[in-house]
């Protein structure tokens, strides 16, 4: 038995803080009950076991998903990643402003979908919730997160299960349909209802290599960014008053995600091996290996490379001068295809 001191975490304004802890005895790990489900093969009603108990310790004085200073109470729930639609049909998206981290990934038809990370703050309602993709394995595994997704193709459900991803699909705790919206864009999650039923074995490791603002290298001016995923979708950013503004956001007014950093990783995209109901091939981002990285922070661009030793490994960043750390703050991660995607920026 090893006694490990716990530096509890809390961010001012967090709506669902956990009780403060002084220390915990780490006597082993407790796994959560996985909840698999698919739109073709739903497993309604499954949800994680509320009897699991938290056991673990914080690793540092930073929030793992933002690098911001930590102090106070540690969340007793794991990181929760919600798959949210990112087309005009999702307008307005709910809950983005409370997220710690957002990853944007290519899906079929040239559209994109969001993997939205919640840990330090748990908003009441998030969505519209959509289905999972195999791409999510490499995005979610480093945070040991629970995935909230409406379901998925049988092949995808099987792959996430084999990868050890805990999934809460439609029918699980917290789901509801909004009668004022059209399906499938009317599925939402009451996140506090879900997180109250989840218990974490330990806080996750840092998702990115965090540093200090003064350690971030100088770069070339880049006040605007255009991340093109396909011929049909480009995400446009503009740097305003210390934050990046998504010019084509579908988020509700006042609930936008305003990142401190836009991290662009150029990734290889292949075929997931099946088609959607409309007959479109489903792409799969290969989120492991290495590639070009472009870090937009403070209205400037720093170029480098990223690497990820496996689907469950964290992202490492380097420049010609050595390891690159990110300044603390919220990050929007763009997984832009090397085949068919492009990046442009302006001063």
pLDDT tens string, the chain, 347 residues long: the values are 333 333 333 333 344 443 333 222 223 322 333 333 333 333 344 433 333 334 444 546 899 999 999 876 778 899 999 999 999 999 999 999 999 999 999 999 999 999 999 999 999 999 999 999 999 999 999 999 999 999 999 999 999 999 999 999 999 999 999 999 999 999 999 999 999 999 887 888 999 999 999 999 989 999 999 999 999 999 999 999 999 999 999 999 999 999 999 999 999 999 999 998 888 899 999 999 999 999 999 999 999 999 999 999 999 999 999 999 999 999 999 999 999 999 999 98
Rounded to 10 degrees, what is the CA torsion of 343, 315, 58, 132?
70
Positive/negative CA dihedral, 316, 320, 324, 330: negative
For the record, the structure tokens of 237 come out as 């950013």
Check if 2-195 and 213-346 are the same fold. Answer: yes
Contacts of 322 (CB under 8 A, 6+ apart): none
Pick from 130, 146, 117, 151: which is nearest to 39 by CA? 151
Number of Cβ atoms within 10 Å of the Cβ of 46: 18
Which tokens hold the place of 346? 């302006």
Reported as type and span, the H/E element at residue 157 is helix 154-162
The structural domains of the chain, with segments of one domain joined by +, span 2-195, 213-346
- The pTM (predicted TM-score) of the whole model is 0.84
As given in the structure block, the two tokens for residue 113 are 């979908």
**Pairing label, strands 2-5, 23-26:** antiparallel
Write the Ramachandran bin of 7: left for phi over 0, alpha for psi from -120 to 50, otherwise beta. Answer: beta
Residue written as token pair 């109901």: 277
User: For the segment 43-101, what is each residue's pLDDT rounded down to a tens digit?
Assistant: 344 433 333 334 444 546 899 999 999 876 778 899 999 999 999 999 999 999 999 99
- Give the homologous superfamily in CATH for domain 213-346: YerB-like (3.50.90.10)
Which tokens hold the place of 312? 């469950």
CA dist 3 and 23 (Å) reads 7
Q: How far apart are CA 147 and CA 168, in angstroms?
A: 6
Determine the pLDDT at residue 9: 37
- The whole-angstrom separation of Cα 135 and Cα 147 is 12
DSSP structure string for 103-152:
EEEE-GGG-EEEEEEESS---SEEB-B----TTHHHHHGGGTPEEE-S--
User: Could you give the 3-state DSSP secondary structure of residue 180?
Assistant: coil
Q: How far apart are CA 298 and CA 215, in angstroms?
A: 13
Given a contact cutoff of 8 angstroms between Cβ atoms, the answer to whether 157 and 149 are in contact is no
Tell me the pLDDT tens digit for each residue of 280-306.
899 999 999 999 999 999 999 999 999
**pLDDT at position 173, please?**
95
Per-residue confidence (pLDDT) for residue 175, from 0 to 100: 98
CATH number of the domain located at residue range(s) 2-195 in this protein? 3.50.90.10
CB atoms near residue 89 (< 10 Å): 14
Query: What's the confidence (pLDDT) of residue 25?
Result: 26
Task: Report the pLDDT value the prediction gives residue 116, as an integer from 0 to 100.
Answer: 98
Residue tagged 């210390």 (tokens): 242
Q: Residue 216: what pLDDT?
A: 95
HEC profile for 186-235? Answer: CEEEEHHHHHCCCCCCCCCCCCCCECCHHHCCCCEECCEEEEEEECCEEE
Distances (CA, A) of 30 to 26, 50, 94, 200, 201: 11, 12, 32, 8, 6
Mean of the per-residue pLDDT values for the chain? Answer: 85
- Phi, psi of 324, deg, nearest 5: -110, 125
Per-residue pLDDT at 202:
82
């Amino acid at each position: 038995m090893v006694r490990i001191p716990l530096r509890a975490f809390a961010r001012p304004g967090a709506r669902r803080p956990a009780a403060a802890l002084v220390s915990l005895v780490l006597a082993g790990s407790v796994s959560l009950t996985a909840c698999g489900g698919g739109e073709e093969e739903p497993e309604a009603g499954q949800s994680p076991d509320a009897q699991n108990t938290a056991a673990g310790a914080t690793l540092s004085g930073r929030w793992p998903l933002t690098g911001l200073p930590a102090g106070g109470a540690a969340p007793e729930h794991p990181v929760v990643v919600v798959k949210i639609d990112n087309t005009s049909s999702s307008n307005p998206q709910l809950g983005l402003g409370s997220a710690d981290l957002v990853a944007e990934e290519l899906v079929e038809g040239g559209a994109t979908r969001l993997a939205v990370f919640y840990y330090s703050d748990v908003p009441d309602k998030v969505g519209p919730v959509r289905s999972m993709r195999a791409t999510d394995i490499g995005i979610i595994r480093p945070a040991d997160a629970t995935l909230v997704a409406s379901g998925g193709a049988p092949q995808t459900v099987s792959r996430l299960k084999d990868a050890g991803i805990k999934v809460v699909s439609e029918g699980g705790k917290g789901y509801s349909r909004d009668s004022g919206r059209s399906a499938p864009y009317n599925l939402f999650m009451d996140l506090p209802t879900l997180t109250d039923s989840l218990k974490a074995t330990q806080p996750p490791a840092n998702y990115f290599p965090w540093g200090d603002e003064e350690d971030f290298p100088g770069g070339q001016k880049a006040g605007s960014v255009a991340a093109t995923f396909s011929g049909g979708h480009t995400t446009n950013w503009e740097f305003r008053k210390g934050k990046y503004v998504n010019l084509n956001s579908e988020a509700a007014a006042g609930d936008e995600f305003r990142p401190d950093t836009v991290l662009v990783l150029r990734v290889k995209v292949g075929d997931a091996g099946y088609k959607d109901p409309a007959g479109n091939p489903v792409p799969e981002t290969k989120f492991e290996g290495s590639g070009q990285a472009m870090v937009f922070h403070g209205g400037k661009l720093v170029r480098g490379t990223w690497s990820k030793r496996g689907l469950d490994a964290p992202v490492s960043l380097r420049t010609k001068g050595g390891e690159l750390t990110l300044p603390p703050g919220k990050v929007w991660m763009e997984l832009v295809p090397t085949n068919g995607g492009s990046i442009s920026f302006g001063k």
